[in-house]
Structure 1
């Protein structure tokens, strides 16, 4: 069994023709469980959750159109899961829960892209990395991983160590492993699965998410996994999954989690 649960239509259109380019690629690559998880900040309905100038310029979708697209696909017999990738926003748990419960998502991804007003994975903010304390950034990032897990709002946490995207990584391994340990402890006590994401291979860091040491802690604490490409174009669907499967199996994983309308089932890893 293979999954690809983290994918975006934002560079194209919310149309069946464009969606089919993604689902057709998934089918060609033998991915049995495929889902679209558009960024929640694009939708007018999330205006009360995340507000900043970067996000506000990119809020241009209506959830009604998004849901309608999936219903069109299902009516045509296209097997695609409906999801959302939500920026985990501290202090907005009630608003996030209200939004999530309004829609029949197959699963929901929670991700951390912001530390206060700092967009950690955005090219526009890259110069900020040299102005800020690296250890403080990592501490605050993993603080959010913990409260994301404790919220128990999300089925999957996206790209668990996205904070390494631009290759800014603390040299103090003891500090780094401490962050990994406390994050995985919180995740193990929640319903949240971890994705092995191949997106990092296409980023400056040039590595899978998560770091093998971090994934090992996930495995040892019984945290389930899914596979994801974080494709923003059809060509990236299922990209480099051979590396993701290899890492999973080398770590000890033999199963993968799947989702349908909130129900989860474990299958042997393909």
Structure 2
């Protein structure tokens, strides 16, 4: 079996016709488990959790409309999971938990995109990388990955080493391995799976998330995986999956985790 649990409708509309383009592409790519995980900051109902000027310019959905879209898809026999990608926000655990419990998500992705006021993966903030201490940024980023895992609020951690996106990477391998050890220690004690995301291959870094060394630690510590493309357009669904599958199998993975109605089931990796 193959999964693609990380994709977004934000470049189009919350309509059946647009959703169908994603679902049809998943079928064409042989992906049996497909889900939409729209960014939580797009929804008015998350304003008490995540609120930055950049987000407020992009907050234009209502959760009721999102839930209704998936209800209509189900009525039409469309096999698609409903998820959300939540910007993990330190100090907002109670608010995140309340939001997650308020809707019938099949699974929930938690991701770190911000280090305080620094949008680490946004082109608008790219020059900030040259103004900040690289090691401090990495340490702060992975601090949040640790507490994300410890919160046990999320089924999947998204693009776990997104911090490398613009190729700003510490040369001190010992430092990186220290970060990998502490985040995998936190993950092994949580319910949170790691996604192998092919999205990194179309980003400036040109590498899969996560790095092989990090994924190897996940495997050794028994942390389950899913496959994802982080598609923002229909044609990106399942993109570069041959590379993701190859990496997973080289590391030793033979199983994937699947989700439906908040329940999880391990299946053979296709």
- TM-score bin, normalised by smaller chain: over 0.9
Aligned partners of 1:141, 1:150: CA distance in 2, in Å? 15
Give the aligned partner of residue 236 of structure 1.
236
Give the aligned partner of residue 171 of structure 1.
171
CA deviations 1:106-148 (Å, max 9, x no partner) are: 0000000000000000000000000000000000011000000
Aligned partners of 2:182, 2:154: CA distance in 1, in Å? 18
Aligned partners of 2:156, 2:205: CA distance in 1, in Å? 22
Give the aligned partner of residue 25 of structure 1.
25
Other structure's SS at 1:107 match: coil
Matches within 5 A, 1:12-51: 12-51=12-51
Aligned partners of 2:80, 2:243: CA distance in 1, in Å? 24
Aligned partners of 1:71, 1:162: CA distance in 2, in Å? 32
1:105 has 2:105 as partner: yes
Task: Using structure 2 for the length normalisation, give the TM-score.
Answer: 1.00
Give the aligned partner of residue 250 of structure 2.
250
Give the aligned partner of residue 260 of structure 2.
260
Task: Using structure 1 for the length normalisation, give the TM-score.
Answer: 1.00
1:200 has 2:229 as partner: no
Aligned pairs, number: 270
Give the aligned partner of residue 217 of structure 2.
217
CA deviations 1:211-235 (Å, max 9, x no partner) are: 0000000000000000000000000
1:117 has 2:117 as partner: yes
Aligned residues: CA RMSD: 0.3
CA deviations 1:54-111 (Å, max 9, x no partner) are: 0111100000000000000000000000000000000000000000000010000000
Give the aligned partner of residue 226 of structure 1.
226
Matches within 5 A, 1:51-130: 51-130=51-130
Structure 1 outlier segments of 4+, above 4 Å? none
Runs of 5+ unmatched residues, structure 2:
none
Runs of 5+ unmatched residues, structure 1:
none
Aligned partners of 1:102, 1:43: CA distance in 2, in Å? 13
> CA offset at residue 51 of structure 1?
1.1
